[in-house]
Structure 1
Amino acid sequence: MSDAEELKRLADLHHAGVLSDEEFAKAKERVLNASTRSSTSYAYASPQGGAPAVNAINGFHRSRDDRWIGGVCGGLARLSGLAAWFWRIVFIALTMCAGGGMLLYFLLWIFVPLED
C-alpha cells in the first residue's frame, strides 16, 4: 500500500470517528516518518547509526598484529569473533578447491584497508 493510500485510509477512519484527532496525528506521523526512512539509502549511513551489515563491512580492516602474510585472516577473526587459525584453514581449503581461496585472499588483501 502506498503512502497516499495509507493516508487516505487514515483520513477516512478519522472522519468516520474511529480515530481521535490525537490518534490520527500519531498515525499520520508514523506513516510519513516510515516513508522518509525507507527512501534514505543505507549506503550513505554513518557507521554509528547505519544498518548492522554496513557497520560490519565498514569495520573490516586487515590486522597489523595478527598476520602471517597480509593480515586478512586476523581482520576476519576480529570482525567475526572466530579465531584467525579458523580463517586460515578456510582459505587453505578454498585454495585446494580450484584456487578460489588464493584469489579471494589476494582480492581482500588489495581492497581491504589496513587498520590504523
Structure 2
Amino acid sequence: MNTLVRPRDGRILGGVCAGLAHRFGLQPWTVRALFLLSCLLPGPQFIAYLVMWIIIPGEQQRSATV
C-alpha cells in the first residue's frame, strides 16, 4: 500500500479525500461521495476532516535534478 499523503494534484478542498482514496486504491470521487453521505448522519465529520487536513502531510514537491 501507498503512504498516506495529501496529493498536490487532484485536490478539491484540502486533499484529504484524494489522499485517502490513493492510499486505499479507490477513486477520489468515491471517497468524496462517501464523505458527503456521511455528513447526513449525526457526528463530527467536519471536525474529523479538519483534523485529518492538519495531521496528514502534504505531498512534497519533487526536486528537479539537472
| TM-score tier (shorter) | 0.7 to 0.9
2:37 aligned with 1:114: no
- Which residue of the other structure, out of 16, 28, 49, is the alignment partner of 1:84? 28
Question: Which position in structure 1 is the counterpart of 2:63?
Answer: none
Q: Please report the RMSD computed on the Cα atoms of aligned residues, expressed in angstroms.
A: 1.6
Contact 1:61 1:115 in 2 (8 A): yes
Unaligned runs of 5+ in 2: 61-66
Task: Name the one with the larger helix percent.
Answer: 1
| Deviation >4 Å, runs of 4+ | none
Unaligned runs of 5+ in 1: 1-54
Q: How many residues matched?
A: 60
Q: Alignment partner of 1:66: what SS? A: coil
Tell me which structure has the larger Cα radius of gyration: 1
- Per-residue deviation, 1:107: 1.1
2:11 aligned with 1:67: yes
Q: How many angstroms apart in 1 are the aligned matches of 2:56 and 2:41?
A: 23
TM-score normalised by the chain length of structure 2: 0.78
What's the % identity of the aligned pairs? Answer: 37
